[in-house]
Amino acid sequence: MKKIRLALIYGGTSGEHSISRITAGGILRALDPQRYDVVSIGIRPDGTWVPGEVDPAAMTMDSGLGEVPESDRRIVLPPGDGSQPLLELSADGTDARVLGPIDVAFPVLHGPFGEDGTIQGLFEMANVPYVGCGVLASAAGMDKDMMKKVLVSAGLPVGPYVGVTARQWRTERDQVLAAVAELEFPVYVKPARAGSSLGISRVERIDDVAAAVDEAQRHDPKVVIEQGIAGREIEVAVLGGGADGPARASLPGEVLLEAPTAGFYDFESKYVDTDGLTMSIPAQISPETTDAVRELAVRAFDAFECEGLTRVDFFVRESGEVLINEINTMPGFTPFSMYPTMWEATGIPYAELIDELVRLALDRPRGLR
């Protein structure tokens, strides 16, 4: 059987560069060499595409939160009908090597300029099948303000929040703070288009909101300020159905922190200081709540017209009320991340999950759909 030529693309220009690299290491280790011919492509923090690493042992959490190494070679994916080859060029453009076409791209990029519809648009222009959501779902899902607007328009439940653009913060700060004062404290101030809990602050008083916005704007000029919700944080992984089949929801999971130093599940507790962190899968919630979050997760997937994969995060209040916190169209995908771990508990092991995502990418139509 002809091998599938897969471009594994990782790194990127966002603050989640190192996590993307670790994700790529996990996928590279799991890909069956009898089935896949892998072309590894790293995106440097400056946006340069370079030949990627081929040893998954060099891309693990144990090896540290490193970055894509420098190279004097460049990788180029030109537009075309899908049959055009990848090119490898010298940095000065004087030497070129044809790498041949690829069958499918697997971008494991998190954050802006990777998860937000930008690289998805490049693949669409190149007519190259790719794993994951399309341009619209990726862009709307990445922006927490637009995300909530889509969820509300679809009749899905979200908590109170205030969205703040850079212009509004410069010219309408008093009005923004007045709107925030209407929320119940504590509030969470977040970059609108960052992930992995980067730049998030928990704020107890209105007087501290401005400093928290300044911190969030170090990662993104646009900010969302969300009312804190007292409840358990439950997650559900969603996988596309393929063809005209319905999307599938995993068993729900819950991240449990014994003593979170920052008061919430932040970047440090996710990736660095993970002592006291456990994942409960399936989450210990009632059958009725389990059914509710799984149904809402699929409805959210459909509301954004997602493809491939999405993780939907919920708050479940003591009353039983369920609110959608956010969706993530390229969730963490190391072998130990919640998305693949939830599918493992639901009956799809990591390597099989990768195969299924590649199949979904290859099977869906190109162009408008």
> Which pLDDT does position 90 carry in this prediction?
95
Binding residues: 313, 326, 328
304 confidence band (pLDDT: 50, 70, 90): very high
184 confidence band (pLDDT: 50, 70, 90): very high
Residue 100, by phi and psi: left (phi above 0), alpha (psi -120 to 50) or beta?
Answer: left
Question: Residue 118: is its pLDDT beyond 60?
Answer: yes
Question: Residue 258: is its pLDDT beyond 70?
Answer: no
Cβ-based neighbour number of residue 47 at 10 Å: 10
Q: Residue 170 and residue 174: Cα distance in Å, rounded?
A: 10
> Which pLDDT does position 195 carry in this prediction?
65
Which residues are CB-contacts of 88 (< 8 A; sequence separation ≥ 6)?
A: 51, 73, 74, 75, 76, 96, 97, 98, 99
Give the mean pLDDT of the chain.
92
Cβ-based neighbour number of residue 16 at 10 Å: 25
Q: Which residues are catalytic?
A: 16, 196, 337
Residue 28 has, within 13 A of its CA and on its CB side, a CA count of 26
Residue 91 main-chain phi, psi, to 5 deg:
-60, -30
If one compares 112 and 152, the residue with the highest pLDDT of the two is 152
Whether the full predicted model's pTM is greater than 0.85, yes or no, is yes
User: Mean pLDDT throughout 85-97?
Assistant: 93
268 confidence band (pLDDT: 50, 70, 90): very low
Task: Name the residue among 234, 243, 241, 368 with its Cα closest to residue 309.
Answer: 241
Percent of the chain at pLDDT exceeding 70: 92
User: Mean pLDDT throughout 257-275?
Assistant: 49
Binding residues for Mg(2+): 313, 326, 328
> Which pLDDT does position 255 carry in this prediction?
85
If one compares 10 and 268, the residue with the highest pLDDT of the two is 10
If one compares 274 and 356, the residue with the highest pLDDT of the two is 356
Q: Residue 326 and residue 115: Cα distance in Å, rounded?
A: 14
> Which pLDDT does position 3 carry in this prediction?
96
Would you say 49 and 114 are in contact if contact means Cβ atoms under 8 Å apart? no
265 confidence band (pLDDT: 50, 70, 90): very low
| pLDDT single digits (tens) 40-77 | 999 999 999 999 999 998 887 665 668 999 999 999 99
Q: Residue 343 and residue 350: Cα distance in Å, rounded?
A: 8
∠ CA(246), CA(286), CA(231), 5° rounding?
A: 95
Domain annotation for the chain: domains and CATH numbers: 4-130 (3.40.50.20), 141-156+230-363 (3.30.470.20), 161-227 (3.30.1490.20)
> Which pLDDT does position 196 carry in this prediction?
58
